[in-house]
Structure 1
Amino acid sequence: MADETAADEDAEGSDAGGGKKKLILFGAIGLVALLAIGGGAYFFLSGDSAAPRVVENEEGTEEVQKPVVFYDLPEMTVNLATDGRSTYLKVRIALELEDKAMIGLIEPYLPRILDAFQIYLRELRPADLEGSAGLFRLKEELLRRINVSVYPARVDGVLFKEILVQ
């Protein structure tokens, strides 16, 4: 009888010890998760978005990346060159510029930019926009046309915010 009560007390003690161990384990995991979330939030939210970033290139030397500015063009809708049914292209574009001063240089040329884009886009066929290669060619051609339109100012990139072929 004494052996049975001792065995029961040992079983209860191991359950209580196991419960404490689980509580400590879950508490430690929760603490680590909170620290990771807090550290991630601090890292992503506290950084200055306009500060230059230092990036190591392929040769092992460091380059300083300058902050960029994005300028949204008005939404454009054009009908594409098709033989039968009308097909429309709706596109929203943002321009990647070196700094805010470039916006002042580009805005006076906005009608010329939109005209060059409209003329080019109306000559496209739906097949020209298929796949990533078609969109890459479209992006490069628009970048070339805009840099011709705003010379001596320079646009670094054309970014598609929305493309819809209907």
Structure 2
Amino acid sequence: MVDAAANEDQEPQGRDGFLGRRRGLILLALGLSVVALAGGAWLGLAGRDAAATDQAGRPGAKVAADAGHGGAGAAAADEAVSGTLDFKDIVVNVSGSSASGQPTERLMKIRFDMTYADPKKNNSLMEKKKPYLREAILSYLRQLHEADLRGSDGLFLLKAELLKRARAVVGNDAPQEFLIVDLVMQ
């Protein structure tokens, strides 16, 4: 009899202990989500401040240019400092693996533009180097694995590698950025 009464007394305490831990976990999750939201807001505001700086690192110069000339004036100023080189569709085989782990081959079709600095000075150089740029890009794309292209990190890495190779081919830092117009994996 005494043991049964003792067990009844201990059972509700065990439930209260479980509910207390559960409340603690809920409060912990709530606190972590508040910290994550605050961190995201901070990163968003930091990105907006970084966008307001120009290439020379002067804060507010981009904002002042947009405010003084409107949207069209800022676009015309950007066109004057950079040229674009259009690359037609490039199709390459990309190695991959199936769900069962078997090696597969997939086709990738990509089209992109390359922007370069000082078009008055570099336009003829870029046109002369375009076949060599295309060949260097093709040799890089052929060695890719489909896992290399997953997510935004994959695209960022692809653009960085293309830029590195373009600068090596041209021999200077005139190539500024690769703009991916179309990317299809089949």
1:97 Cα shift? Answer: 1.3
Correspondence for 1:33: none
Per-residue deviation at 1:113? 0.8
Secondary structure of the corresponding residue to residue 90 of structure 1:
strand
Q: Which structure 2 residues correspond to residues 60-79 of structure 1 after superposition, within 5 A?
A: 67-79=81-93
Q: SS of 1:110's equivalent?
A: helix
Query: What residue is the counterpart of 1:96 in the other structure?
Result: 115
Output the TM-score relative to the length of structure 2. Answer: 0.53
TM-score by length of 1: 0.59
Q: CA deviation at 1:68?
A: 2.2
Which consecutive unaligned segments of at least 5 residues does structure 2 have?
1-69, 98-102
| Aligned residue pairs, count | 112
Q: 1:71 Cα deviation (Å)?
A: 1.8
Superposed, 1:77-156 pairs within 5 Å as 77-82=91-96, 84-101=103-120, 102-152=122-172, 154-156=174-176
Q: Give the number of the structure whose residues are more often helix, by fraction.
A: 2
CA deviations on 1:38-88 (whole Å, 9 max, x unpaired) are xxxxx556x463236xxxxxxxxxxxx973222211221101123644301
> Which one has a bigger Cα radius of gyration?
1
In structure 1, list runs of 5 or more residues that go unmatched: 1-42, 53-64
Query: What percent identity do the matched residue pairs reach?
Result: 31
Q: Once superposed, what is the RMSD of the aligned Cα atoms?
A: 2.5
Runs of 4+ in 1 over 6 A off after TM superposition: none
Instruction: Pick closer, same or farther for the CA change 1:128–1:67 going to 2, 3 Å.
Output: same
